[in-house]
Amino acid sequence: MFSKILIANRGEIALRVIRACKEMGIKTVAVYSQADADSLHVEFADEAVCIGPAPSAASYLNIAAIMSAAEITDVEAIHPGYGFLSENAHFAEICESCHITFIGPTPENIRLMGDKMIAKDTMRKAGVPIIPGSKAVIDNKDDAIKIANKIKYPVIVKASSGGGGKGMRVAHNDVRLASSIITAQSEAEVSFGNANVYLEKYFEKPRHIEVQILADKFGHVVHLGERDCTVQRRHQKLIEETPSPVLNQKIRKKIAEAAVRAAKAVNYINAGTIEFLLDTDGTFYFMEMNTRIQVEHTITEMVTGIDLVKEQIKIAAGRKLEYSQDDIKFEGAAIECRINAEDSENGFMPSPGKIENLHFPGGRGVRLDSHIYSGYTIPPFYDSMIGKLIVHGKDRQDAIKIMQRALEEFVIGPIKTTIPFHKFVFNNPQFLRGNYYTNFVEQILEKKV
């Protein structure tokens, strides 16, 4: 096992990794930007190294500065968390060449899944259902129009290097398709430095279902069930729950098996998530694979009792998975609400600043993963998520009751947060029935449901 790990991240996920390391008897090194000198991850780690000024590009994305910190502190491994360098194949390669273990998948895994077209083609060959669409990059509008008329409108143009919703365009007819391709291509070129786009049938009322997998270096792959992440705004998830309120046991088993097949097809190693689009009729299709630990990993931990960050570290250290699929038991239901420093009553406008009043909820079934404290100033430079409120109940109804109570107990001020939004959702009849789609947040903001 490693004796010292560097955490190349900040905020709640840096704390989350430090906590796992402490329980495993591993020493920790935090890295921080000049704007994060007062952060809890700096306080809680055994050592801390300043890696640059506030902007991410100069600090948390600064590979040279992070590798220098790793060399100076003599760590054996780096945990990248999520975001920042977590899905950067080049960074994973540099770690390898410096003989420092990257706690995550191989550079090849990351690179393959980073190209959505290649990922899709790999899944098709592995027998994982994929969304009908173009089999190659779109290079002229006539071919695109032919494909669109074959799969029937509406269609969606997606960027090959995209993901997470960036660079997507929906088209309902030939004329709009031609212009959508041009705009999607130029957006993709600007955002990703790669203008390649492809075409898919567009689903109007999908749900976002993802499956957590773990894979060790000996080819063993297990799944840890699904998460329903359908409550999103502008491709930012706000609420995640497990199990999904809409899957029956038959589809649940099929989607989990498809995820294991997907991971095996690419010789995947470490923790990963396979995202599926679920149609209203229960058919599901591969969307993309996330090659990192995700924000919402916590709800899977609650229902399985498995610490995913510890598993990531053990896998990276070359340990075999200690259990097989049948040993994994799922208990109850878990829900996560993302607490962002945003004014959900004013267009989710960012609301950085000093926290003067703070009270964390507690009691039965409540977990709070957060790096904030009373007197802490939220810097304006980074992601607005300041915490995750996670509940675990004996079933969905019980979890909802715990969440409603915990949201009532929660005080953060005077900065604005997404707590009022969550209180509103947990009183919405459609949400309470589990009857919602990806347009749900838009609908409630327009007061339609």
Q: Which residues bind ligand MV4 (CB under 6 A)?
A: 131, 156, 164-165, 200-203, 206, 208, 232, 235, 275, 277, 287-288, 438
CA distance 70 to 91: 13
CB atoms within 10 A of CB 61: 18
Instruction: Select which of 292, 338, 367, 396 is catalytic.
Output: 292
CB atoms within 10 A of CB 220: 15
Nearest distance from residue 170's CB to ligand MV4, in Å?
8
Question: Given the complex with ligand MV4, which of 152 and 235 has the nearer CB atom?
Answer: 235
- Tokens at residue 56, please? 């991410």
The residue type found at 278 is L
Q: Is the dihedral of CA 238, 243, 249, 254 positive or negative?
A: positive
Considering Cα of 190, then 438, then 297, then 15, what sign does the dihedral take?
positive
Q: How far is the CB of 212 from ligand MV4 (least distance, A)?
A: 16
For ligand MV4, the closer CB: 203 or 268: 203
Using alpha carbons, select from 60, 64, 71 the residue that is nearest to residue 11: 60
Reference 279, options 206, 179, 377; nearest CA is: 206
Q: Whose Cβ is closer to ligand MV4: residue 12's or residue 288's?
A: 288
**Is 338 designated active site?**
no
Q: Which amino acid is at 246?
A: V
Nearest approach, Cβ of residue 277 and ligand MV4 (Å) = 6
Mapped onto helix, strand or coil, the DSSP state of residue 392 is: strand
304 token code pair:
């399985």
Q: Tell me the C-alpha distance between 8 and 69, whole Å.
A: 10
Q: List the end-to-end C-alpha distance of the chain, in Å, as a whole number.
A: 52
Element of type H or E holding 110: helix 107-114
Q: Are 360 and 417 in contact (CB under 8 A)?
A: no
For the bound state, the minimum distance from the C-beta of residue 130 to ligand MV4, rounded and expressed in Å, comes to: 10
Q: Decide whether 127 or 164 has the Cβ nearer to ligand MV4.
A: 164
Give CA–CA dist 334/129, Å, rounded. Answer: 28
| 230 vs 312, beta carbon nearer ligand MV4 | 230
- R_g (Cα) of the chain, nearest Å: 22
**Residue 372 contacts residue 355 (beta carbons within 8 Å):** yes
Minimum Å gap between C-beta 155 and ligand MV4 is 8
Q: How far is the CB of 232 from ligand MV4 (least distance, A)?
A: 4
Closer of 235 and 364 to ligand MV4 (Cβ): 235
Nearer to ligand MV4, 268 or 286 (CB): 286
Q: Could you please report the per-residue DSSP string of 291-312? A: -S--TTHHHHHHHH---HHHHH
How far is the C-alpha of 170 from the C-alpha of 154, rounded, in Å? 7
Closest separation between CB of residue 249 and ligand MV4, Å? 23
Residues serving a catalytic function are 292
